[in-house]
Amino acid sequence: MAADKTNIVENNELPVAMIDVATSFADWLIILPTTIALMGAALLIMLRFNKAIQAGLAILIVIGIIILEIRLFLNVMEFGTQSMTMGKWLPPFGISFTVDVISIGFALAGAIVTLAVLIYAQADISSREVKYGFHSLVLLLLAGVTGAFMTGDLFNLYVWFEVMLIASFGLIIMGGRKIQLDGAIKYGFLNFLATTFFLISLGLIYGLFGTLNMADISQVSAQAPIGPLTAIGALLLLAFGMKGAAFPVNAWLPASYHTPHPAVSALFGGLLTKVGAYALLRSLLLIMPSARDFLDPVITFLAIATLILAPLGALAQTNLRRAIGFLLIGGVGSVLVGLGVPTIRGVAGASIYIFHSMLTISALYLMAGLIERIMGTQDTRKMGGLYSASSWLSILFLVLVFAVAGLPPFLGFWPKLLLIEASLSQGDVWLVVALVLNSLLTTIAGTRLWAHIFWRAGPIGENSEQQNKKLKPLTLREKYLCVTPTTILVLFIVFFGLKPAMIFDAGRMAAYGLLDKSEYVEVTGLADPTKEKVE
Amino acid sequence: MEIALAVLIGMFFTVSIYLLLSRAIIRMLLGIAILGNGVNLLIFTAGRLTKEIPPIIPMGQETLIEPFANPLPQALILTAIVIGFALFTFLLVLGYRAYQELDADDTDTMRLAEPERAPRPPLSY
């Protein structure tokens, strides 16, 4: 909500710059999820020798965050975009947290994924890793992700990116196996480089506009000279494309995401690349649409290349989690399609796709963890015969494959439909071809994984019709802690696939929020025509 | 003065990109460190170079009197330095651990996560 300016004492001819009233309780709701996650992380570090209460406390904190975010989501759906400015300075001086549908929708999905991962992780990590601060790093990651989704200031976004990065560094090497060090080197260097590119563009933005407040920049970006603006837009596309693992800067993802614990892979797959995709939508659609228009052919090309090359990579893989990594990259291509056709339908499609991908990819990685646990290997050539051991897992996996490929009636179908409609209405036939090809190739890659892992009786070259005897059945504890959260995520995907009306409404509102900046600017309190622009 | 600094930033970027393209982890680390400094200089220059007068409102005045140093780029750079320092330290330790464990400083020999002779894709369906 805009700061209440009625109580502010006018100071001669100086423009109003301070908030003199206390922040209302409703406004606190905007900052609480991030704050609670940060303070929870700090609390868990202090209690790190008390291993027994770590997991319970972390799960309670995340449940609390989910409840607050549901409340905030309902508020935003009812009353529209909300904003809160910290530190008494009015924007553009104070840092605002501005929450619209897209922010809170993604934050909520992220918190749900984190809860599922936390429960799953109880059977996945050792008690030594609990002492090393696994739970507090997860909460720190959640704080970074939530802050990145909600902040209304570009430099603040950079800070949240770094919070996420340092937490993910800690998580990716947790366990300390050699392969993890190898993956962490590539992950670390390339992601640090991506955030540095983002920092470079921030310096240029500050030089060009003299402000870093998103709403403030969006008001003046249309009048800026197109040369520097396009350079900044291209730098942002590179930085966030690298974060989101779009072609051709995606190589770090399949090199690292299969090395940590499956629970950590699921957390990364569900949260980290999605923040990059979100930042692309936010910066190039809301903040500087004229730079996007100039970069349109580049974005279209990148979308097509990512859509087609990623599932081909998945087809060539024999490592289960690396194959899933490539499927994840293909999803980033779909988001780029939405960026390439900035209509209500296109942007709604991209937003819903990110939401879908958060749930689906996390569930797929959790599933991969279960399969590796039973098979004792990551190599799909050595797998087989899981269907007779656990038909329930085979159903879950098949649902996830169909969802990620975009087949009805699962959640993945609807955003693809919106994206194809949007591309057709814009006359971008090649985008439609790429989207359909992506679905086809993803179906082939995914169902082949399913056939190899579940359908055939044993590993490759073994023609026995006997059941695979090398399987290690799940213990009861693993069934409760690992299969339950995976099943719940899959149920979400099925539920939203069958009842897409709510998702469509939210997606359309998210797209309006990104394409029409007036509401976003207004709630930060910058659109007041009587207030002159402060330099 | 801006032009001189722009040239200097360009040199920083050139050196750091050259070092980052190397296969040796230790050179890449040096490249990251130099790149960070280049970016900080860039933010500093983008905030416009002014006289080194602290931005403090004099007694009896209500606004700042020109000229004064722009405090915002300094705040941004300070944040970036702190964050960059933390991440650089982590990468330094990570590089050392990788050298101990994998006995490799050359990224070409770090092929555990992505095996060099990758298995052929499965042919069956």
Contact B98/A185, CB-based, under 8 Å?
A: yes
Q: What is the pLDDT of residue A488?
A: 95
Q: How confident is the model at residue A535 (pLDDT cuts 50, 70, 90)?
A: very low
**Which has the minimum average pLDDT: A232-246, A425-439, A448-462?**
A448-462
Quote the CA–CA distance of A512 and A356 in Å, as a whole number. 19
Domain total of chain A: 1
Q: Closest Cα partner for A486 from A115, A102, A48?
A: A115
* Chain B residues within 8 angstroms (CB to CB) of chain A: 20, 25, 28, 32, 35-36, 39, 42-43, 45-48, 62-63, 72-73, 76, 79-80, 83-84, 86-87, 90-91, 94-95, 97-98, 101-102, 107, 110-114, 118-119, 121-122, 124-125
Quote the CA–CA distance of A142 and A162 in Å, as a whole number. 12
Closest CB from A165, A183, A203 relative to B113:
A183
Q: Say which residue the tokens 């300075």 belong to.
A: A89
The dihedral built from the CA positions of residue A157, A351, A326 and A385, taken in this order, carries a sign that is: positive
Q: Closest Cα partner for A272 from A148, A157, A356, A370?
A: A148
Q: Say which residue the tokens 């320092």 belong to.
A: B85
For residue A495, give the H/E element and its range: helix A484-498
pLDDT of residue A439 exceeding 90: yes
For range A476-490, the mean pLDDT: 91
Contact A381/B119, CB-based, under 8 Å?
A: yes
Q: What is the pLDDT of residue B51?
A: 74
Residue A92, preceding peptide bond in cis (omega within 30° of 0): yes
Q: Closest Cα partner for A154 from B70, B35, B85, B76?
A: B76
Q: What is the pLDDT of residue B64?
A: 80
Q: Which residue of A has its CA nearest to B119?
A: A318
β partners of residue A212 = none
Classify burial at A178, counting beta carbons within 10 Å of its beta carbon; exposed 0-12, middle 13-18, buried 19 or more: middle
* pLDDT tens-digit series, residues A445-481: 999 999 988 888 777 767 666 667 778 888 888 888 8
Q: Which residue segment(s) compose the domain that A151 sits in?
A: 25-523
Quote the CA–CA distance of A298 and A415 in Å, as a whole number. 22
Give the pair of three-digit tokens for residue A63.
Answer: 């449940």
pLDDT of residue B111 exceeding 70: yes
Chain B residues within an 8 Å CB radius of A18: none
The dihedral built from the CA positions of residue A521, A523, A524 and A526, taken in this order, carries a sign that is: positive
Mean residue pLDDT across chain A: 89
pLDDT of residue A23 exceeding 80: no
* pLDDT tens-digit series, residues A391-405: 899 999 999 999 999
pLDDT of residue A410 exceeding 50: yes
Quote the CA–CA distance of A292 and A444 in Å, as a whole number. 34
pLDDT of residue A528 exceeding 60: no
pLDDT of residue B97 exceeding 50: yes
A150, A106 Cβ separation under 8 angstroms: no
Q: What is the pLDDT of residue A527?
A: 66
The answer to whether residue A531 is domain-embedded is no
For residue A96, give the H/E element and its range: strand A96-99
The answer to whether residue A15 is domain-embedded is no
A149, A275 Cβ separation under 8 angstroms: yes
A31, A84 Cβ separation under 8 angstroms: yes
Quote the CA–CA distance of A418 and B96 in Å, as a whole number. 49
pLDDT of residue A504 exceeding 60: yes
Q: How confident is the model at residue A9 (pLDDT cuts 50, 70, 90)?
A: very low
| Cα of B125 to nearest chain A Cα, Å | 6
For the domain B2-53+66-107, what is the CATH code? 1.10.287.3510
Q: DSSP secondary structure string, A356-379?
A: HHHHHHHHHHHHHHHHHHHHS-SB
Give the pair of three-digit tokens for residue B38.
Answer: 């280049």
Alpha-carbon distances, residue B20 vs A34, A197, B98, B116 (angstroms): 35, 14, 18, 22
* pLDDT tens-digit series, residues A207-222: 999 889 999 899 888 8
Alpha-carbon distances, residue A13 vs A10, A17, A531, B62 (angstroms): 8, 12, 11, 11
What residues have CB less than 8 Å from A169, skipping those under 6 apart?
A184, A187, A188, B87, B90, B94
The answer to whether residue A186 is domain-embedded is yes
Classify burial at A443, counting beta carbons within 10 Å of its beta carbon; exposed 0-12, middle 13-18, buried 19 or more: middle
Q: What is the pLDDT of residue A275?
A: 95
Q: What is the pLDDT of residue A414?
A: 94
For range A308-335, the mean pLDDT: 93
First to last CA, chain B: 66
Contact B87/A173, CB-based, under 8 Å?
A: no
pLDDT of residue A531 exceeding 50: no
Q: Which residue of B has its CA nearest to A180?
A: B113
Give the pair of three-digit tokens for residue A137.
Answer: 């790093």
Quote the CA–CA distance of A91 and B71 in Å, as a whole number. 17
A221, A287 Cβ separation under 8 angstroms: yes
3-state secondary structure of A402: helix
3-state secondary structure A162-223: HHHHHHHHHHHCCCCCHHHHHHHHHHHHHHHHHHHHHHHHHHHHHHHHCCCEHHHHHHHHHH
Q: What is the pLDDT of residue A459?
A: 77
Q: What is the pLDDT of residue A228?
A: 92
Q: Closest Cα partner for A220 from A234, A233, A205?
A: A205
Q: How confident is the model at residue A525 (pLDDT cuts 50, 70, 90)?
A: confident
Contact B91/A189, CB-based, under 8 Å?
A: yes
Q: What is the pLDDT of residue A15?
A: 64
Q: Closest Cα partner for B111 from A183, A87, A50?
A: A183
Give the pair of three-digit tokens for residue A523.
Answer: 């709630």
Chain A residues within an 8 Å CB radius of B43: 199, 202-203, 206
| Cα of A204 to nearest chain B Cα, Å | 6
Q: What is the pLDDT of residue A378?
A: 87
Q: How confident is the model at residue A5 (pLDDT cuts 50, 70, 90)?
A: very low
Mutation site for A-interface testing, chosen from B28, B29, B110 by largest number of A Cβ within 10 Å: B110
3-state secondary structure A443-471: HHHHHHHHHHHHHCCCCCCCCCCCCCCCC
* pLDDT tens-digit series, residues A34-79: 999 999 999 999 998 888 889 999 999 999 999 999 999 999 998 8
A294, A262 Cβ separation under 8 angstroms: no
Measure CA B124 to chain center. 47
Q: How many residues does chain A have?
A: 535
* pLDDT tens-digit series, residues A118-155: 999 998 888 888 888 899 999 999 999 999 999 999 99
Q: Say which residue the tokens 């919070």 belong to.
A: A163
Q: What is the pLDDT of residue B125?
A: 67
A180, A253 Cβ separation under 8 angstroms: no
* pLDDT tens-digit series, residues B42-87: 999 998 887 778 888 888 888 887 778 888 888 999 999 999 999 9
Q: Tell me which of B23 and A461 has the higher pLDDT.
A: B23
β partners of residue A153 = A213
* pLDDT tens-digit series, residues A342-385: 999 999 999 999 999 999 999 999 999 999 999 888 888 888 88
Give the pair of three-digit tokens for residue B31.
Answer: 């490249």
pLDDT of residue A4 exceeding 70: no
Alpha-carbon distances, residue A394 vs A196, A198, A391 (angstroms): 42, 42, 5
Chain A residues within an 8 Å CB radius of B42: 200, 203-204
Contact B35/A196, CB-based, under 8 Å?
A: yes
Q: Which residue of B has its CA nearest to A259?
A: B113
Q: What is the pLDDT of residue A286?
A: 92
A212, A514 Cβ separation under 8 angstroms: no
For range A415-431, the mean pLDDT: 93
Domain ranges of chain B: 2-53+66-107
Closest CB from B43, B95, B122 relative to A380:
B122
